[in-house]
Amino acid sequence: MLRVGLTGGLATGKSLVAGELEHLGCFLIYADRLGHDAMRPGGPAYRPIVDRFGPEILQQDGSIDRQRLGSIVFSDAAKLGQLNAIVHPAVFALEDELAAEAAARDPHSIVVIEAAILIETGRYRAFDRLIVTTCPEETQIARAMKRDGLSREEVLKRIQRQMPLSEKLRYAHYVIDTGGSKLETAVQVRSVYETLKDYAKTHDL
């Protein structure tokens, strides 16, 4: 099994690249979705989060109000760190479980884990290869404004809270620029996929 990390900055096309890789035959694991699962009632992170941040973060049905929780942690680095310390280990465990299942079905599978902060958490060290998506900053801003309904100022604040994209690119084995057309991106993804297949054949993983 070849373990591949896929990351990039806000609205740099990670989901598009992930979808292309999945279409080509990779087994995709989406960390954000696992984070949502971990925070649902009964999930491994649910009770620790409620115990730490209080019942005021809950909706009437008992689920965690992610927007309310976000308003608490994104304005306080210490609280964000506390939340991450709860959620990340739970997500990592789920990732490993799914990757092991994929390897059991196909020992030669290419497992790709898509996550926004693979590098920041140090999780990138768990992968054989790392793909980083990029695009021009103005494209990034326009995409995030359209996708998330945010103002330009709000998008810029989010970008500024992240590791600079130029720094993320230093960790990449492969860089995919999504600033062009979807077809141009797809061509780059296929090239990376073929390289990954060759890498898996020539390395005892």
pLDDT digits (tens, 9 = 90+) for 9-63: 999 999 999 999 999 999 999 999 999 999 999 999 999 999 999 999 999 999 9
pLDDT in the model for residue 205:
57
pLDDT in the model for residue 204:
62
Is the domain of 142 the same as that of 153?
A: yes
Bridge partner list, 75: none
pLDDT per position as a tens digit, 180-198: 999 999 999 999 999 999 9
pLDDT in the model for residue 127:
96
Is the domain of 118 the same as that of 81?
A: no
49 or 70, higher pLDDT: 49
The confidence band for 5, taking pLDDT boundaries of 50, 70 and 90, is very high
Number of independent structural domains in the chain:
2
Is the domain of 60 the same as that of 91?
A: yes
Is the domain of 82 the same as that of 146?
A: no
Is the domain of 95 the same as that of 116?
A: no
Averaged pLDDT for residues 54-82: 91
Is the domain of 200 the same as that of 140?
A: yes
- Domain end residue (candidates: 53, 86, 107): 107
Is the domain of 100 the same as that of 124?
A: no
Is the domain of 37 the same as that of 15?
A: no
pLDDT per position as a tens digit, 79-125: 989 999 999 999 999 999 999 999 999 988 999 999 988 999 899 99
CATH number, domain of 160, equals: 3.40.50.300
Residue 13 near residue 133, CB atoms below 8 Å? yes
Is the domain of 1 the same as that of 37?
A: no
Domain that holds residue 194: 1-26+109-205
Is the domain of 113 the same as that of 198?
A: yes
In sequence order, which residues have a C-beta less than 8 Å from that of residue 20 and are 6 or more positions away?
185, 186, 189, 190
75 or 136, higher pLDDT: 136
pLDDT in the model for residue 164:
95
Q: CA-CA distance, 139 to 196, in Å (whole number)? A: 28
Among candidates 20, 75, 151, 123, which has minimal Cα distance to 83?
Answer: 75
pTM: 0.90
- Domain end residue (candidates: 79, 107, 135): 107
